[in-house]
């Protein structure tokens, strides 16, 4: 071949580096190269050593070009062939289909029977990727073609490295835009949520929050529905070193079980029907910030197992993915349910409970902090008046505050907020009297009297002891055997005896009249 190699190099390089869209640059280069090399198709590939796959990132013919992400798994032989390669080279293949690496890729383009050239690309002794060139049907490449293609190693390597960086920047840009939309929605929901009563009824709670906020320790917020657990979680985030990061809220009771993994951990493209693109889950979105797991007691047992791994290892795996993603998060959980009772019932994992319960904070109900009611009323009047675009803010009628203070507020601050909104709607500018609130018709300030001792919050050891005594009473004090308590409790008899000894439950010959009589005796 009588070719001016300098001219070939210059013209090919101008076309290779002429566009950030690597597929278009490849097409222009191929249109020129085809004058000197019988080439019909050119592709760029990168190799993922961890997954053992070759990703084709771009392809071009003289008529068309396409940026893509075509992933081809390699056989063990193909992986060894790639990983044993230590230096850049240009390889000539008489038939692409016979090669352990090129064969599976060529089949995607119906090029098994074509001759091929492979050019390994390296910059500063670092392997970047590979260029593959397919011959025209019925024609073969030769050593002259190998020499010409070898001239383009550096331009191809620079073009591929730039393209990969450009692709990564576009992905990060899209992620940031997606994060921005998501966080704006979250901020709209929590904007303006201040801790009203922080200097009065919630003074002790705020002191606990100030103590734990600068740390990364998990926090468990406990309290009735409507006491403001989300506001407290937001306060923990705002007072922490993570306040510049995201605050992601998850209502564990509002996510269907079928979508739980996808919502929490994300999914890869094609992981299931409808997964048209990679999606990051709530844990991944919370990276560098705080994730608030509201109503943690509603989390299914299967999801509890996966949450335990996040707490222990700070790692997640997206649905349909093999890659482990590390996350830097602080977990704040909340529930209105009695988790200790759920432990005894087997509906909440004991190991997860103790992982979350590093720093528990019990938020008192509104009926136990009536000094906060006047402050809350004024706060809600101002907030709702702005939302309803009222020109003037109504006053509170004489005696109305006393009526509100004597009411039991089973719905806590949320019910009070609704009462204020309802009063603003019906007042028509007159002072707010809250005449629909009847202190005598609902729960009193001291709260409902509980006749059922099972509703009281008890320690875990106390609940366990009660359960063991109940089972022993059913078994007439027998521990071992077919009808023994150990069989019903699904534990070894010696383990049961050790636990009973630890809990102070008497056992043995003289125990029956002490323990089993007590378990059977009626309360009251």
Digit-coded pLDDT (tens) for 110-167: 888 999 999 988 887 778 888 999 999 999 999 999 999 989 988 998 888 888 888 8
Position 67 scores a pLDDT of 87
Position 269 scores a pLDDT of 83
Position 499 scores a pLDDT of 83
* Residue 279, helix vs strand vs coil: strand
- 60, two tokens: 């071009």
Q: Tell me which residue has tokens 């890729």.
A: 105
Strands 290-294 and 330-335: parallel
Banded model confidence at residue 193, pLDDT cuts 50, 70, 90: low
What secondary structure, in 3-state letters, does 32-56 show? HHCCCCCEEEEEEEEEECCCCEEEE
Rounded Cα distance, 186 and 431, in Å: 34
Work out the percent of the chain whose per-residue pLDDT is above 70. 88
What pLDDT, in 10s, does the model give residues 388-445? Answer: 888 888 899 998 999 899 999 999 988 999 999 999 998 877 899 998 888 875 544 4
Rounded Cα distance, 214 and 236, in Å: 8
Position 180 scores a pLDDT of 66
Neighbours of 443 (CB within 10 A): 14
Is residue 351's pLDDT more than 70?
yes
Q: What's the pTM value of the predicted model, to 2 decimals?
A: 0.54
Banded model confidence at residue 468, pLDDT cuts 50, 70, 90: confident
For the four alpha carbons of 278, 281, 283 and 288, in that order, the dihedral sign comes to: positive
Vertex 211, ends 209 and 214: CA angle to 5°? 90
Most confident of 10-14, 274-278, 303-307: 10-14
* Residue 135, helix vs strand vs coil: strand
Strands 290-294 and 247-251: parallel
């Amino acid at each position: 071949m009588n070719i001016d190699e300098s001219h070939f190099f210059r013209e090919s390089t101008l076309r290779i580096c002429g566009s950030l869209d690597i597929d278009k640059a490849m097409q222009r280069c191929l249109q020129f190269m085809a004058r000197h090399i019988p080439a019909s198709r050119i592709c760029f590939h990168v190799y993922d050593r961890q997954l053992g796959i070759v990703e084709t990132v771009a392809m071009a013919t003289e008529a068309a070009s396409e940026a893509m992400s075509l992933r081809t798994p390699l056989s063990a032989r193909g992986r060894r062939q790639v990983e044993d390669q230590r230096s850049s080279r240009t390889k000539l293949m008489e038939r692409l289909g016979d090669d352990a690496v090129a064969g599976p890729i060529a089949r995607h383009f119906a090029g098994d029977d074509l001759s091929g050239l492979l050019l390994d690309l390296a910059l500063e002794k670092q392997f970047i990727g590979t260029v593959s060139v397919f011959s025209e049907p019925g024609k073969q490449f030769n050593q002259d073609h190998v020499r010409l293609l070898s001239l383009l190693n550096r331009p191809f390597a620079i073009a591929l490295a730039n393209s990969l960086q450009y692709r990564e920047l576009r992905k990060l840009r899209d992620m940031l835009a997606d994060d921005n939309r998501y966080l704006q929605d979250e901020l709209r929901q929590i904007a303006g949520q201040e801790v009203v009563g922080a200097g009065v009824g919630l003074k002790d709670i705020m002191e606990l929050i100030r103590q734990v906020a600068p740390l990364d320790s998990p926090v468990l917020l406990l309290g009735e529905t409507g006491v403001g657990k989300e506001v407290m979680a937001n306060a923990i985030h705002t007072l922490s070193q993570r306040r510049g990061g995201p605050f992601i809220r998850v209502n564990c009771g509002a996510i269907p079980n079928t979508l739980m993994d996808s919502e929490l951990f994300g999914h890869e493209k094609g992981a299931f029907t409808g997964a048209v693109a990679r999606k990051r889950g709530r844990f991944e979105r919370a990276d560098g910030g705080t994730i608030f797991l509201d109503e943690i007691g509603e989390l299914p047992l299967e999801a509890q197992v996966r949450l335990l791994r996040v707490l222990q290892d700070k790692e997640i795996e997206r649905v349909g993915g093999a890659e482990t993603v590390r996350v830097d998060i602080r977990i704040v959980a909340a529930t209105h349910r009695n988790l200790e009772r759920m432990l005894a019932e087997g509906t909440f994992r004991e190991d997860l409970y103790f992982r979350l319960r590093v720093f528990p904070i019990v938020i008192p109900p509104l009926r136990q902090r009536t000094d906060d009611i006047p402050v809350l009323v004024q706060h809600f009047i101002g907030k709702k008046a702005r939302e309803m675009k009222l020109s003037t803010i109504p006053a509170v009628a004489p005696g109305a505050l006393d009526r509100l203070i004597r009411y039991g507020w089973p719905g806590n601050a949320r019910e009070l907020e609704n009462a204020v909104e309802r009063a603003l709607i019906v007042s028509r500018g007159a002072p707010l009297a809250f005449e629909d609130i009847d202190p005598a018709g609902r729960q009193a300030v001291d709260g409902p009297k509980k006749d059922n001792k099972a509703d009281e919050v008890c320690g875990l050891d106390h609940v366990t002891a009660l359960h063991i005594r109940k089972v022993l009473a059913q078994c007439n004090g027998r521990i071992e055997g077919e009808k023994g308590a150990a069989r019903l409790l699904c534990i070894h008899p010696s383990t049961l005896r050790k636990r009973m000894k630890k809990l102070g439950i008497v056992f043995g010959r003289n125990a029956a009249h002490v323990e089993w009589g007590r378990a059977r005796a009626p309360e009251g």
